[in-house]
Amino acid sequence: MHIPDGYLSPATCAVAGAVMVPVIGVACAKTKEVVKDRHAPLLALGAAYSFLVMMFNVPIPGGTTAHAVGAVLIAVLLGPWAAVVCVSVALVIQALFFGDGGVLALGANTFNMALVMPFVGYGVYLLLTRNTSLTSRRRAIAAGLGGYVGLNVAALCAATELGLQPVLFHSANGTPLYAPYHLSTTIPAMALAHLTVAGFSEFVLTAGIVAYLQRANLPLLRINHSGIVDTDAELAPQSGRPALRWALIGIATMIVLSPLGLLAPGGAYGEDSPTDLNLHKYGLHAIPSGLQHYNGFWKHTLLGDYGFSSGRHANIGYVLSAIVGALAVGAVIFFFVGGVRLAMRRRPEAQADAA
Amino acid sequence: MTDGASTPGWLLAGAEDAPPLLCSGKRRRGGAIEKTVGGLARLIREALVSEEIAARRGLLQRLDARVKLIGMLGLLIATGLVRHIPVLLGLYALTLVLAAASRIGLGWFAKRVWFFIPLFSGVIVAPAMFSFITPGEVVLPLGHWFGHEVGLTRQGLTSAALIVCRVASSISLVLLLTLTTSWSRLLASLRTLFVPRLLVLVLGMAYRYLFVLLDSVTEMVTARRARTVAAKRSRRGERAIASFSGGALFGKAHALSEEVHQAMLARGFSGELRMSEWPRIRAIDVISVLTCLALAILVVGGDRALGL
């Protein structure tokens, strides 16, 4: 994800730098609050750790490089602001001594890897670890998922910065002056590498190290987790099922907002009705017979085109469709999960083997 | 033990009739991680230990670190703004002249710069030369695709060359600074550019502890190899070991950090970062920084005069 000098226009670098200068200032001040002077060497080692992890990288045609960063692990251990400091330091050393990532591009690189990644990842981690103890298994997996999500959001930021260059900066004859790839190339290229290999290694590394520390070195985890009980047995019992409540609130919000879809102009790609097809564009003179035959094959829809057959009250039709659809999908999942559970209960010995 | 006389005969005798050893498994070559760690340790040592060049008596070594930092930044921004390949090549030639004047071996310097470029920028930029990424005037046709001519386009080739030249000039400029300046001076000059105290402190310590950490990693890898007797291994097991080692490394780092902090306190660390006194800015420093900045403006101006 290291963007070298020359890939980004100085204007982009200036914008990113202007964002990062105050952020670094705040990060240094905040880090001093959480991580006392006593842990300054630990910060240095965090930076060294991130440096080493980032050395294992592969170039991606169409993007930059793919590698794990370790930012979310540092955020979990020492807090997200400390992660900003650690990863920035690692990036500075790489830029100065290895030419890996540019000096002018430091603003953009630190924005992606030292700001976006630890904060997004740490947010995911916090969200998934509410009401869990320090040694809970969920905590390790949450840290891993945080790493995975954080890395991918950071890669998306890098891809966006690179992909905007040819649009914003090109010469009169269309020669791109900086990074040559458009968003349509950079985003898939970066996403493919980071959703699979790099994201996977970040997940394994982060979750594995947190799981190891849970077993072997709790004091290290306590630095950034003061006031969290050690084992699940000590947790105060929770009332209700907040997860279910939040899920229902989320679905209800989406149902209410569903008429927003009416505002979108045009049709979805590949979903046009045969009569709307631009036949000349494809060198056709008539609608292909198969398409003609199977179009409208199923005529027994309850709410055709997500509305009433009269075509009136489009908003109410949309909301009603959303409710009916959500209930139908919910019922299918309910019965499917119920069936799987029943099957699992009938084979307790198989379950014991798996465990 | 090359001296045969001092070696007992039974040790030198052939082992044909000796009972087979219990651990007679084949010695395996290390896995990807083990090999990489070794190579990485060497590479990092090479890249970071440049104090020897910084101590030579050359042109850039003579200049104040702050002057070099500002001059480098100015030229780096100019490199970023330049849009013509000949101008970029001129800038690259300038870095070579400066390297020669600073008694840096040119072959070695060019190798340092160009080693990574084909490996990384080359692979990344290569597809941009083709017409399906950068449309334009096809100069080297490679065939037809659905009735369209495909091949290398003028625009694509220019764009790729532009990026590679710019990356090479930029890396050369940065290397000139880091090779000819001692690390402590470089850190101190960052402080004068209003880089926060904590960041400079961590930067200085991270640089030191990178070696300690690398030694730890190398030792752990060696220790693991020493304990490995069977050839059988699983990916799952390797992943577990990698993350356990990482966790153990953090534990070690934590313990070390307590010790280091005690040592810092014992030597009178009060939370303030002190740098040794700066030498006075001399006339040559002022002239150099002005030359660099004037050159940067001249380069950008000349580039714009060539057209956009």
What global pTM score does this model have? 0.76
Distance CA A220, CA B252 (A): 10
In the predicted structure, residue B164 carries a pLDDT above the cut 50: yes
Looking at chain A, the whole-number percentage of residues with pLDDT higher than 90 is 31
B304 contact A CB<8A: no
- For the stretch B243-267, what's the b/e string if a residue is b when 16 or more beta carbons lie within 10 angstroms of its beta carbon? bbbbbbbbbbbbebbeebbeebeee
**Minimal Cα–Cα distance from A18 to chain B, Å?**
14
**Domains of chain A: residue spans and CATH:** 10-238 (1.10.1760.20), 239-263+301-355 (no CATH)
Q: Mean pLDDT, to the nearest integer, of A119-126?
A: 94
Burial of B294: CB neighbours in 10 Å, binned 0-12, 13-18, 19+ = exposed
CB contact under 8 A, B80 and A59: no
Ranked by mean pLDDT, the top range of B103-107, B209-213, B272-276 is B103-107
**Minimal Cα–Cα distance from A7 to chain B, Å?**
7
Distance CA B10, CA A355 (A): 54
Residue linked to tokens 């008539």: A286
pLDDT tens-digit series, residues B78-102: 999 988 899 999 999 999 999 999 8
ipTM of the complex: 0.81
| H or E stretch covering B142 | strand B138-145
- Which pLDDT score is estimated for B19? 47
Among B30-39, B50-59, B237-246, the minimum mean pLDDT is found in B30-39
- Which pLDDT score is estimated for B4? 46
- Which pLDDT score is estimated for B230? 66
Residue of A290, A193, A8 lying closest to B170 (CA atoms): A8
In whole numbers, what is the pLDDT of chain A averaged over residues?
84
**B31 interaction partners in chain A (CB closer than 8 Å):** none
**A23 interaction partners in chain B (CB closer than 8 Å):** none
In the predicted structure, residue A329 carries a pLDDT above the cut 60: yes
Q: How many helices (H) and strands (E) does chain B have?
A: 13, 2
CA atoms within 13 Å, Cβ hemisphere of A316: 6
Put simply, the chain B residues between 112 and 171 with a CB less than 8 A from any chain A CB are 113, 116, 119-121, 123-128, 133-137, 154-156, 158-160, 162-163, 166-167, 169-171
- Phi–psi pair at A345, nearest 5 degrees: -70, -30
pLDDT tens-digit series, residues B186-217: 888 888 888 888 888 888 888 888 878 888 88
pLDDT tens-digit series, residues B21-46: 444 445 455 555 566 666 666 666 66
Distance CA B136, CA B36 (A): 42
In the predicted structure, residue A35 carries a pLDDT above the cut 70: no
In the predicted structure, residue B8 carries a pLDDT above the cut 90: no
Which residue would you say has higher pLDDT here, A325 or A313?
A325
**Who's near B300: CB < 8 A, 6+ residues apart?**
B78, B81, B82
- Which pLDDT score is estimated for B21? 47
Report strand pairing: A65-66 vs A58-59: antiparallel
pLDDT tens-digit series, residues A207-232: 999 999 999 888 888 888 887 887 77
Residue of B307, B150, B87, B161 lying closest to A180 (CA atoms): B161
Find the residue in A nearest to B170 (Cα).
A5
Contact between A97 and B47 under an 8 Å Cβ cutoff? The reply is: yes
Which residue would you say has higher pLDDT here, B307 or B8?
B307
Instruction: Report how far apart, in Å, the C-alpha atoms of B176 and of each of A13, B89, B99, B278 are.
Output: 22, 16, 7, 21
**A171 interaction partners in chain B (CB closer than 8 Å):** 83, 308
Which residue would you say has higher pLDDT here, A242 or A248?
A248
DSSP A310: T
- Which pLDDT score is estimated for B303? 86
Q: Mean pLDDT, to the nearest integer, of A303-320?
A: 78
Q: Mean pLDDT, to the nearest integer, of B101-115?
A: 85
**A24 interaction partners in chain B (CB closer than 8 Å):** 196, 199
Find the residue in A nearest to B240 (Cα).
A208
Q: How confident is the model at residue A156 (pLDDT cuts 50, 70, 90)?
A: very high
Q: How confident is the model at residue B111 (pLDDT cuts 50, 70, 90)?
A: confident
